[in-house]
Structure 1
Amino acid sequence: MKTWHYALIVFLGGCCYGVLSTFVKLAYSAGYSVTEVTGGQYLFGTLLIWVLVLFTKKKTLTLNQAFKLLLSGIPFGLTGVFYYQSLQTLNASLAIIFLFQFVWIGTLFEWIFYKKRPTKWKVISIALLLIGSVLAAGIVSEGGIVLSWQGMIWALCSALTFATFIFLSSLVGKDTPPVLKSALLSTGGLIVVSLLFPPMFLFDLPVLTGVAPYGLFLGLFGAVLPPLLFSIGMPYIGPGLGTILTASELPVAVSMSSLVLAEYVGFSQWIGVVFILGGIAAGNIRGSKGKITPVQVQKSSTL
């Protein structure tokens, strides 16, 4: 595949995250708690991906390889925990802005660890994305914004862990089949979520059966598809461009809230969506024209 194919795969992974907020709100309105929704998402998602592993070509991993992938799943689980925690004391529109800082954090990681300075187009892209995120989140049109330093810290932690997860997706387990890699990443996320949010709802049958539909949907789009798509695409495009492409999350979230929840989305928010899409396009201008090197072709045959 060409580089832009891998970029599209990562873009779709970001779109999957954008679906989550709408259905999390639906689950909350149905009376389910943060613990039940978060635990259900990672539990059912991990079960789904391991079912897929049963129908894929098997590959033996060393204990060390499996352990590294499990550890890499920790920031995946922590992102959900930190972000949901920030929503307890922070306005949702502000929380998403702080989470969106993962865009420049990922580029910073690439600069520090890969010694790859951001290009002019990448800097322009990040600027467009951050401006667009402020507009799309409705900060301009809303009044009476409540600022909480606890909420800001939690939300910034979620940005850091999300950028770390994207970075590790491009670095760890490059020769591991994407489905198996995704299963181990999801398992690592499930372990850390279960430790922080003990899944006591498993012992309450009415709650378990009630939260199951939400857990299955959130698990598919939050714990199965994103790590799977990132496992396929990230090794070929790197964490810098990868974090820019995953910014597709916010336009999808805005669109879903309008279509499914019938929430009012103002003109400035749609302008923000346009800015974000423009930022994604600007960040991909150079990367989309590249070709896969022979080393990458060899790697892709093992996926």
Structure 2
Amino acid sequence: MKDYRSTLYVAAGACSYGLLATIVKYANHLGIHTSLLTFLQFMFGFLFLLAFNLLSKRHTKEHNIIKFSSKIKLMVWGISLGLTTTLYYLSIQYIPVSVGIILLMQSIWISLVAEAVLLKKLPSKGKLAGVIIVLLGTTLATNLFQNNNALDYRGIILGFGAGISYALAIYVSSTVEKELPSSVRSQFLVLGGLLLIVAFWNMDIIRY
């Protein structure tokens, strides 16, 4: 049952990127700037996680004893989350959402290569098969081969940059401060991403 739920969680997370990008692009057409959308996404995410952890007795206890150094470490690594979202949303200003998703999903093989290099261990056949299936499925689902329009190089660079950043985020989420509850870790990772977004967009968040 646990494995079944885990699969559903992964599927829901994967679907969210395509859905969010479509919403963001539509909102841009309505005149809402990407800076405000990105800021609100992370702000509401952080507030939700904060409220969840405060209302959870078990997590509240562990939240209170978390080391300051652990909080800082998670926030620093959380920059990768903010960078991923920022680059991804910027990329779809120049290329179709379908292509942006393909570029973002390059994080799968990038993270696999990084893991092999850092751990000096070849990936298992199961992981390799999973990478191939996900990439093929994503390509077919986004109808990439029927997209005959010329692609803007700026979107390609930004999209691939989002893929690299997302690969880092995946690695961080599975290795940094693993002894803490997932919701507590996520809270500080998202906070780090939020600070990056505020620093990157600055006054554009208010201006638009």
TM tier, shorter chain? 0.7 to 0.9
Q: CA deviation at 1:133?
A: 2.4
Q: CA deviation at 1:155?
A: 0.8
Q: CA deviation at 1:15?
A: 3.5
Q: Which string of whole-angstrom CA distances, capped at 9 and with x for unpartnered residues, describes residues 211-241 of structure 1?
A: xxxxxxxxxxxxxxxxxxxxxxxxxxxxxxx
Counterparts of 1:50-89 in structure 2, within 5 Å, are 50-56=50-56, 57-59=60-62, 60-89=65-94
TM-score by length of structure 2 reads 0.85
Q: CA deviation at 1:200?
A: 5.0
Which residue of 119, 128, 143 corresponds with 1:123? 128
TM-score by length of structure 1 reads 0.60
Counterparts of 1:35-114 in structure 2, within 5 Å, are 35-56=35-56, 57-59=60-62, 60-114=65-119
Counterparts of 1:1-303 in structure 2, within 5 Å, are 6-56=6-56, 57-59=60-62, 60-143=65-148, 145-198=149-202, 201-202=205-206
Q: CA deviation at 1:191?
A: 0.2
User: What is the alpha-carbon distance in structure 2 between the residues aligned to residue 2 and residue 48 of structure 1?
Assistant: 24
Q: Which string of whole-angstrom CA distances, capped at 9 and with x for unpartnered residues, describes residues 29-63 of structure 1?
A: 43211111111111222122212222123221111
User: What is the alpha-carbon distance in structure 2 between the residues aligned to residue 16 and residue 87 of structure 1?
Assistant: 15
- Write the letter of the residue equivalent to 1:86: S
Q: CA deviation at 1:193?
A: 0.5
- Tell which deviates more after alignment, 2-11 or 133-142: 2-11
Q: CA deviation at 1:151?
A: 1.9
Closer, same or farther in 2 for the Cα pair 1:130/1:200, shift >3 Å? closer
Match in the other structure for 1:275: none
Q: CA deviation at 1:189?
A: 0.4
- Write the letter of the residue equivalent to 1:150: R
Closer, same or farther in 2 for the Cα pair 1:164/1:95, shift >3 Å? same
- Write the letter of the residue equivalent to 2:47: L
Closer, same or farther in 2 for the Cα pair 1:93/1:7, shift >3 Å? closer
Closer, same or farther in 2 for the Cα pair 1:134/1:78, shift >3 Å? same
Closer, same or farther in 2 for the Cα pair 1:132/1:177, shift >3 Å? closer
Q: Percent identity?
A: 32
**3-state DSSP of counterpart to 1:52:** helix
Q: Quick check: 1:39–1:199 contact (8 Å CA) kept in 2?
A: no
User: What is the alpha-carbon distance in structure 1 between the residues aligned to residue 201 and residue 44 of structure 2?
Assistant: 15
User: What is the alpha-carbon distance in structure 2 between the residues aligned to residue 199 and residue 38 of structure 1?
Assistant: 13
User: What is the alpha-carbon distance in structure 1 between the residues aligned to residue 4 and residue 111 of structure 2?
Assistant: 19
User: What is the alpha-carbon distance in structure 2 between the residues aligned to residue 89 and residue 2 of structure 1?
Assistant: 40
Q: Quick check: 1:34–1:84 contact (8 Å CA) kept in 2?
A: yes
TM-align CA RMSD: 2.3
Closer, same or farther in 2 for the Cα pair 1:152/1:189, shift >3 Å? same
Q: Quick check: 1:91–1:146 contact (8 Å CA) kept in 2?
A: no
- Tell which deviates more after alignment, 87-96 or 42-51: 87-96
Closer, same or farther in 2 for the Cα pair 1:91/1:26, shift >3 Å? closer
